[in-house]
Structure formats: C-alpha cells, structure tokens
Amino acid sequence: MSRKVAIIGAAGTLGACSAFTLAFEGVCDELVLIPHRRENLVKLYQIDLQSALVGINDTKIRVGSKEDIAEADVVLVCAGPPWRQITSRMEWLNDALPVTEEVAETLRRYCTKGVVINQTNPVEPTTWALRRLSGLPRKRILGYSYNDTLRFRGLVGQHLGYSSTKVGGFVVGEHGSHQVLLFSTVKIDGKPFPVEQKTRAEILAEIPKIVPRLETLGQGRMVGWTCSVGALAQIRAILDDTGEVFPCSVVLDGEYNRRNISATVPVRLGRAGVQEFMAMNLEPGEQEKVESCFDYLASTVETLLEPRYPASRFATASV
C-alpha cells in the first residue's frame, strides 16, 4: 500500500528539516511539499532533495497544493507566522491564530483520511483551534510536543551519567512553561529508576533556560532538527500502526476528567491516530502539577471562545 505524507508550510525551518529527514529515511513512498509562502524556495528544496536521494531510496518528492492532502496518510503542519523574539511560546498565539484558521479550513475541505500532526506554536491552543474549526475527529489531530520529552531524557542521562539511548520517561501537560516532568516515569534500560530530589531540582532548573538560550542567539529561527526527528518517529508509528506510546497534545473529552482542552498526554499511535489514552499513575506532587496545568489550558481556551470563536463558527466535530 502506497504511503503518502504532506507537509503544509514546507519553506520554513520546521518544514525544510522535516522534508529532508522524512525523505532521507524513506518513511513514505510520496512526499508532497505544500508552500504556505515562498513557493519558489519550496520548488528549490524539491529539486535539491530529489537529487540528494539518488542511490539512497525511491521516495517521490513533489511540490503540491492544498488539494493534495486529500489522500495523504499523514499531514504535517509546519506553517506559522514570521519569527519574532519571545520569552514564552504563548506570546505567539495571536500571531499564530490567523495561520491556524487558514490551515483548519484547508483540513476541513480536503483532509479526508489523514492523521494531522500540528507543529505550530503555541501547540496546545492551536491544536484545540484546528480541531474545533476543521471538524475533524479529535483522535486524528495531534499536537507535536515530543521535544520536551526528548530534552527531559537527555537531561536525565546527563545528570545520572547514562547514555540517552538507555533513558525513558515522559513530559506531559503543556509544550511551554507549564510542562510537567514526570520523574515517576523515568526508566533506565527499561527498568524504573528512582531519581533523588537533588537531581530532580537540578533538572527542573534547566527547563526555563531552554527557550531564552535559543532566543538570545538572535538567528530568527527556533529548533528544526529536533522536531523533524521526533515527527519522523511519530509518523513511523502511525504508518506502521505500531501502537507505540508518545506524548501528544490531544483534545480531551472526558479523559483524565477533562474536556474541551488540548493537553499533552501519553497515547498509543496507529493508522487512525490515537489508538488509546494511557493511564498516568502519578506521584501526588505530579498530580497537582498536572491539574494546575490543565486549569491553565482551560483558562486559555476561555480567552478564545468569545468573541473570536463563537459556537456558530465551529464546524461540526466528530469524536
């Protein structure tokens, strides 16, 4: 069965890095690059990438249009507003919403079967808006927040003296300052590993430094390769129907006793998107942080409802 992936917003850092990673790894048979802007740059990428794959694999790469997502198995949304310096991803919300509205209309009209992975920051509210405005089933729209978990695992490995390939663990909640590091999920070589409080405090102190460290470099972009490698892992799980567990931002409808928010939670992924929401067996302190994060995300949704998104504007959404 032919496997098709489409990238909306292929000209930017996220789109370009993802296009190369997906093409080089040969994860799909057809890769469609859809410009959000800078169409000629996307055409250049297509020519360059197709030449780069000679002798490596036979992935077909082409520049396409919105209509091309109709038969895509996965749609990777990398479109976003122009970069500007921030201290928190949530500062991008008002900039990102017009782009999200445009993408939602494209999904509503053309996305007939594919699973959507949304990388537009801030991920939680834009994923919520994509679902509500597109009307697609919520289990087919995933917000990408895997970078937090990758960084967490890297920090755990550094502080404990283990290779990152041996480390497991998850970050949930928000792809932002309200993220919750689940030290209770840390594993080394697949076995639970207790992390002492001193080490936890040292790791937690590193998290607020991540975005400012990137921003102070002043290069007009954020990370691209981390997102592309993480998206590759999730797209493989979807296309191969593996049921592998990833942290994804998904609109909740009763799970974890919450509704009408998009939050990062552990889910099994397969061809239809979310196969299963996984239970979170949390320590008391972790539970309190997760609930506080969910409250924060609910308050963010409240700011979007009226007058910007009155109920009459919402497409009919299926579960």
Residue appearing with tokens 């993408």: 103
pLDDT for 143 equals 98
Task: Yes or no: say if 31 and 5 are a contact pair by the CB < 8 Å rule.
Answer: yes
In angstroms, rounded to a whole number, what is the distance separating the alpha carbons of residues 305 and 121?
Answer: 19
198 and 139 together in one domain = no
pLDDT for 14 equals 92
In angstroms, rounded to a whole number, what is the distance separating the alpha carbons of residues 44 and 213?
Answer: 31
For the segment 37-52, the average pLDDT, to the nearest whole number, is 95
For the segment 138-157, the average pLDDT, to the nearest whole number, is 97
Average per-residue pLDDT in the chain?
93
Q: Is the pLDDT of residue 212 over 90?
A: no
Establish if 232 belongs to a structural domain: yes
Task: Tell me the residue range of the domain where 82 lies.
Answer: 4-144
Q: Which helix (H) or strand (E) holds 36?
A: none
pLDDT for 69 equals 96
Query: CATH code at 9?
Result: 3.40.50.720
Establish if 317 belongs to a structural domain: no
Establish if 37 belongs to a structural domain: yes
Residue appearing with tokens 């080394």: 188
Q: Which of 169, 174, 6 is nearest to 93 (CA)?
A: 174
SS3 label, residue 50 = helix
166 and 77 together in one domain = no
* Surface-to-core class of residue 32, CB atoms within 10 Å of its CB (0-12 exposed, 13-18 middle, 19+ buried): buried
Residue type, 258: R
Q: Is the pLDDT of residue 310 over 80?
A: no
73 and 189 together in one domain = no
Confidence of residue 83 (pLDDT cuts 50, 70, 90): confident
Task: Yes or no: say if 148 and 223 are a contact pair by the CB < 8 Å rule.
Answer: no
Q: Among 90, 118, 144, which residue terminates a domain? A: 144
Task: Yes or no: say if 75 and 81 are a contact pair by the CB < 8 Å rule.
Answer: no
Confidence of residue 82 (pLDDT cuts 50, 70, 90): confident
311 alpha-carbon distance from chain centroid: 26
110 and 175 together in one domain = no
Residue 253, phi then psi, degrees to nearest 5: -140, 65
Establish if 273 belongs to a structural domain: yes
Q: Among 144, 171, 202, which residue terminates a domain? A: 144
Confidence of residue 313 (pLDDT cuts 50, 70, 90): low
Residue type, 69: I
Query: CATH code at 247?
Result: 3.90.110.10
300 and 175 together in one domain = yes
pLDDT for 305 equals 81
Q: Among 144, 170, 192, which residue terminates a domain? A: 144
Establish if 313 belongs to a structural domain: no
28 and 140 together in one domain = yes
Length of the chain: 319
pLDDT for 36 equals 84
pLDDT for 88 equals 73
Q: How large is the angle between the packed helices 13-25 and 39-52, nearest 10 degrees?
A: 20
42 and 191 together in one domain = no
Helix then strand then coil, % of the chain, to nearest 5: 45, 20, 30
The alpha carbon dihedral of 186, 286, 154, 28 has a sign of positive
135 and 250 together in one domain = no
Tally of domains within the chain: 2
Residue appearing with tokens 């009919």: 316
188 and 164 together in one domain = yes
Establish if 311 belongs to a structural domain: no
Task: Yes or no: say if 252 and 260 are a contact pair by the CB < 8 Å rule.
Answer: yes
pLDDT for 213 equals 84
Stated pTM of the model: 0.94
Establish if 124 belongs to a structural domain: yes
The count of other CB atoms within 10 Å of the CB of residue 3 is 17
150 and 109 together in one domain = no
